[in-house]
Structure 1
Amino acid sequence: MGTDRTMPSPNDRDRPGNAALGRPRLYRGPAQLAGPSADVRRHPRIWCPRTWVERCGDPKLRRIGVARAWRGGQSVVTAGEAGHILAGEAVDRRCRLMSFWRRKRMLRGVVLGVCAFVISCPVEAQQAQPLKPADLPNPYRLVEGWPVLPAAMNDGRWGEVSRVQVGPRGNIWVLHRCFADKPPGSAVCLGAFKDYPPILEFDPAGRLVASLGAGLLAYPHGLAVDRDGNLWVTDVNDAGRVLGMPATNADGVVMGQDVLKLDPAGKVLLTLGKEGVSGSGPDAFDRPSGVAVAANGDVFVSDGHYPNAHHNARIMKFDKNGYFVKSWGKLGSAPGDFDGPHDLCIGGSQQHVYVADRQNKRIQVFDQDGQFIAAWPQFGQVNSVFVGKDDTIYAGTAYPDPAYAGKAQDDPTATRGLIRGIIVGSAKDGTLKAFIPDPTDLRTVVRGSSASGITADDQGNIYAADVGAHSLRKYTLQGHH
């Protein structure tokens, strides 16, 4: 029923057994360092990431078992919490030195010396991330004229586009707001737009293959496609009327606050939550923003689009039949907590859960049981996140514009004071590799985020759904066709 939180707090100073054993206490990690040049040797408590030792590759260290020692412990600090200091290198969750001391009974001075050597090793983990996204390369090319939207659909003009995903057959599925653009940034499939289908399928060439879902959603937001080709969509509507229009379906029931599972033809197979009813328990949502499906069929929902009445900010897990399994997180900024979780995905070689923790301006990483792994603020104020099979991570994001003289912006839908774009990096360690600037002139945008939805295919082509710019984009690597 409640949350399942078994990770120790990063602020737990006194680890079990420290005082009783009379052994040296450990410094909690790089999150407390002022920068890459900080001298950790002056601290009485030190954490040394396993990756530093392995990358240094010193055979003597390996012989005495230093590298092996990291595999037996438990980490608390992540490099994501240290910001740009460690280039996004995630501190392995098995890097605790206490196990080393317990196993090897080595003197404190020896351990400090090892850590000093490791920290002095010239490896990538020590290099700071670029402070500005413009410092990163952009090896991608925008594919003009993709996709082709039939003229019969709103004269071939997009409204707000919320999400995009690649299906198991390689086709691209799009969740949009029925070509509506009002209210700006949160348009609804009501009134004159209610009969348009909010779900469209395109082939890789950009030709429309199918359309479905008319009348099912008021405020389409999240989308996932499972291995069987079934579609999972979320509706964040929380109002009985919007712009004077009733937000009800054909049966007169207020739409929203639910997650629907549809077959590829649009038939509703399963409903999570209660249509039109908000809540904070295990059987209800308050503005479910995103959905992801694991290989075994488990379903994960990011619940608590900002703002919401119940102050929900959590990840909810269900089994393949829709039965509640667990939830984790609450409103807050501590590791494992959220503020406006806007999207999530399951991906990469380790099939971790990646959450776009938008108001907290970071990506958080968990295993599928909700165990906290890392927090990566270097990805900016993230709207969307996707991780490919090759452990490449893509995120639609916004960074503060250093050239902007006005008040700093905390609203990712703001049209001034932000540098918007798509950030590309490594899902293994959080390093940043490329940045694709938003091609839109933000002076033409009334309100709404860029790359609110993001995905990539197996060839590395990137697809982005734009709420504010009313567009759907495709990028290929330079030189690829």
Structure 2
Amino acid sequence: MGNRRGPAIVPQDGEKTMKIQMALAVMAFLPAAAMAQPVDQPKAEPNPKTNRYAEVSNFFKLPPGRSMGSSSAVAGDSKGNIWVVDRCAANDCAGSKLEPVMQFDAKGNFIKAWGAGLFLFPHGFTIDNRDHLWITDGHVADGKGDVVMEFDQAGKLLRTLGKPGVSGAGPDTFHEPNAVLIAPDGSIFVSDGHLPDKGNARVIKFDRDGKFVKQWGGHGKGPGQFEMPHCLAMDSKGNLYVGDRGNDRIQVFTQDGKYLGQFTQFGRPSGIVIDRNDILYSTDSESRAAAGYGHHPGWQRGIRIGSL
């Protein structure tokens, strides 16, 4: 599910994921005509197409004794390796000695892991064009968390955005940052705020040096407002896609925050990825299902795919 132009986030909040799913319960391939322009779109049928994909169980070969916890993020690097960030074989890394950042080859063979003691609740993840890893930490305690961190592939911390252990709504603080995306020019985008109706609900833009540029958003259902901006992606034209999970939609903006439109046919987006062919993949981990969270009645959890 990973690509290097957008954050390959596959959140399973509160769930243990023991396998890679090339397709979840439902996959809907939406024709290009349905998404020709980033303008407001009517809701499509919830699950209109047959799943054409096969699920590959136990794809990742974990070290002996290691299990996969809530796997909040996955991405691929320029060499074809797959990186997975889990929450320390559970749904939280607080107090754990496990290393949550794991590298695998293209066949799922384990290469290495690092990151013990660095995170409380690793959430969003992307790999930039230098193969640096960017990870958001969405909880705060004991002087840690509510930050966005940049690492090299050996696990060396290169940069931190935000103030570790400090929550806030200013230009240099976050409150439960969800996702991070690095634009081709090095601009940094962070979607901030995991709580509906309170806390932050914004997208923040920084320049390549980490200097605050601007922010937009706020709680609500209108254009440019959010209820849990959970994930980010960018298309080949440089438009920014924000998975507005609490509002069951994906909103589209310019990189300066100008609203372009929204899509509502992709379910309740927990993660979105746009590949080099401008195919959008949306993971829906929360819509109503037999073991679901009860959100978005009438829709099933799964991965939905559409061409832009």
| TM-score, normalised relative to structure 1 | 0.54
In 1: Cα distance, 2:193 partner to 2:227 partner = 8
Partner of 1:198: 100
Structure 2: distance between partners of 1:150 and 1:138:
32
Residue aligned with 1:206, SS? coil
Pick one of 269, 280, 301 that aligns with 2:190. 301
Are 2:256 and 1:375 equivalent residues in the alignment? no
Q: Which residue of 1 aligns with 2:144?
A: 255
What residue ranges of structure 2 are gaps of 5+ in the alignment?
Answer: 1-32
Measured after TM superposition, the shift of residue 168 of structure 1 is: 1.7
Tell me the secondary structure at the aligned position of residue 419 of structure 1.
Answer: coil
Q: Which amino acid aligns with 1:285?
A: F
User: The residue matched to 1:378 in structure 2 has which SS?
Assistant: coil
Instruction: Quote the offset at 1:145 in angstroms.
Output: 2.7
CA 1:170–1:176: 2 relative to 1, 3 Å: same
Q: Which has the larger radius of gyration?
A: 1
Q: Which residue of 2 aligns with 1:474?
A: none
Aligned to 1:326: 214
Given the alignment of the two structures, is residue 144 of structure 1 paired with residue 57 of structure 2, yes or no? yes
Separation of aligned partners in 1, 2:66 and 2:115: 19
Amino acid corresponding to residue 169 of structure 2 in structure 1: S
Residue 226 of structure 2 corresponds to 338
Secondary structure in structure 2 of the residue aligned to 1:256: strand
Matched with 1:424 is 305
Give the superposition deviation at 1:137: 2.9
Q: What corresponds to 2:281 in structure 1?
A: 394
Which of 238, 259, 262 is the aligned partner of 1:351?
A: 238
Q: What's the TM-score once normalised by structure 2's chain length? A: 0.82
Counterpart residue type for residue 300 of structure 1: F
Secondary structure of the corresponding residue to residue 274 of structure 1: coil
Q: Which amino acid aligns with 1:257?
A: D
Q: Which residue of 1 aligns with 2:9?
A: none
Q: Which amino acid aligns with 1:255?
A: K
Q: In 2, Cα distance between the equivalents of 1:201 and 1:341?
A: 27
Distance 1:381 1:367, change over 3 A: same
- Partner amino acid for 1:409? G
Deviation, structure 1 residue 367: 1.6
- CA distance in 2 between counterparts of 1:308 and 1:179 reads 30
Letter in 1 for 2:110: L
Which residue of 68, 80, 86 maps to 1:176? 86
Matched residue type, 2:213: V
Helix, strand or coil at the partner of 2:265? helix
Kindly tell me the number of residue pairs found equivalent between the two proteins.
273
Counterparts of 1:399 and 1:140 in 2: how far apart (Å)? 20
- Please give the alpha-carbon distance, in whole angstroms, between the structure 1 residues aligned to 2:55 and 2:239: 29
Secondary structure class of the residue paired with 2:246: coil
Name the structure with the higher strand share.
Answer: 2
Query: Do the aligned residues in 2 keep the contact of 1:87 with 1:129 (CA within 8 Å)?
Result: no
**Which residue number in structure 2 is paired with residue 157 of structure 1?**
67
Equivalent-residue separation in structure 2 for 1:354 and 1:387 (angstroms): 9
Distance apart, 1:423 and its partner CA: 0.5
* Counterparts of 1:330 and 1:387, CA distance in 2: 25
State the one-letter code of the partner of 2:256.
Answer: D
Q: Percent identity?
A: 40
CA distance in 1, matches of 2:179, 2:46: 28
The alpha-carbon deviation at position 400 of structure 1 amounts to 4.6
- 2:298 and 2:221 map into 1 onto residues whose CA distance is 23
- Consecutive unaligned residues of structure 1, counting only runs of 5 or more, are 1-85, 94-124, 181-186, 241-247, 249-253, 429-481
Hey, what does 2:22 align to over in structure 1?
Answer: none
- In the superposition, relative to structure 1, how do residues 129 and 277 fare at CA in structure 2: closer, same or farther (>3 Å)? closer
2:46 alignment partner in structure 1 = 132
Distance in 2, matches of 1:92 and 1:340, equals 21
Encode CA deviations 1:396-425: one digit per residue, 9 max, x unaligned.
Answer: 115456xx8xxx933x7xxx9751100011
Which of the two has greater helix per residue? 1
**Which 4+ runs in 1 deviate beyond 6 A?**
none
1:373 is aligned with what amino acid?
A: L
Residue 283 of structure 1 corresponds to: 172
RMSD: 2.4
